[in-house]
Amino acid sequence: MTIDGEAGLTTSSVASSFDDFYASTARRTLSLAHALTGNWGDAEDLVQDAYTAAAKKWPQLSTYDDPSAWVRRLVLNRSVSRWRRLQREALAVVRLGARTDEQVDTTDPVDPEFWAAVRRLPAQQARVVALFYVDDLSVEQIARTLGCSDGTVKTHLSRARGTLACELQMEDES
């Protein structure tokens, strides 16, 4: 649900320096990256690349209301190629009548089955889910991050929830 107006706007304070910005946002971004990649190695690579790019653009980014949105978008964009590969793998497995066998680190107490199911969603749906549950962003903030309308975010979120409900229920039954 979108809320505009005085009570609904959330304005994050802009970190006074890049180091402060990195220290205050890197872990949250790492969580997002892990949700999208499924392993810490890829997630750390994504975060490292994104913040390296942000450091170079910091004088400009630091003037933004929310520089972390730029970093989030970079992480989301750079996860696309991996997404598409996973999508292809998932489709191939479906054709073979079996479930995808994406490897998850079962030692992580982060409900790997849930995130594996998220990663099998269409890319944009998965991004919305990750931003919603990991970054705890509002629909409006997600829309700004992804450059789409609030309604589009809600549609993705609704469809993703429906797919996840079916898929995870199937898993439970199996």
Partner 1 sequence: MSDQFALIDARGRAAGAALRSTTSFRAVPDLPTPKRHGWVRPALMAAVAIALVAGLVSLAGRDAAPVDERDPKNLRYVIDDLPDGWSIRSVKDAGVQTGEVPAMGRYAVLFAIPGDPSARAIALWWADPATPEGEEYPPVKFSNLLFTDDVEEFDAAGRRAACGTTSEGSYLCYVQTDQGMVQAVAKHLSLQQVRDALAGLEFVVGHPTISSEALPPGLAIVYSGPEWLSPAVMNPDSAEVASVEYQSSDGTTAFLVVGRAEDHDLAESALQQPWSALRVGNDPGFNAVQGPEPSSRSILWNRDGHTFFLNITGDHSAAMSLANSVRRATDTEWAAASQRGEVLQSDQGVVTTATADSAPVDTAPMPTLDPEVEVIDQRMEMVVTANTPDDVSFGVLIGDEVIEGASVKVIDESFGVRFADGGGFGGSISEAIDVQPIDTSHLGQDLLSTGAVATTGSDLPVTLRVTATNGVRYLVDLIEMPNHPQVRVAVVMLPPGEHVSSADVVDRDGLVLSGF
- Where in 82-111 is the site for partner 1 (CB under 8 A)? 108-111
Taking CB under 8 A as the criterion, which residues in 39-68 touch partner 1? 40, 44-45, 47-48, 51-53, 55-60, 62-63
- Residue 11 CB contacts under 8 Å (≥ 6 apart), including other chains: 65, 66
- Identify residue 117 by its one-letter amino acid code: A
Is there binding between residue 144 and partner 1 (CB under 8 A)?
no
Is there binding between residue 148 and partner 1 (CB under 8 A)?
yes
Q: Which is nearer to partner 1, 63 or 103 (CB)?
A: 63
Is there binding between residue 171 and partner 1 (CB under 8 A)?
no
Range 157-161 contact pairs with CB under 8 angstroms and sequence separation of 24 or more: 157/125, 157/128, 157/129, 157/132, 159/125, 160/118, 160/121, 160/125, 160/126, 160/128, 160/129
Taking CB under 8 A as the criterion, which residues in 25-44 touch partner 1? 26-28, 30-31, 34-35, 40, 44
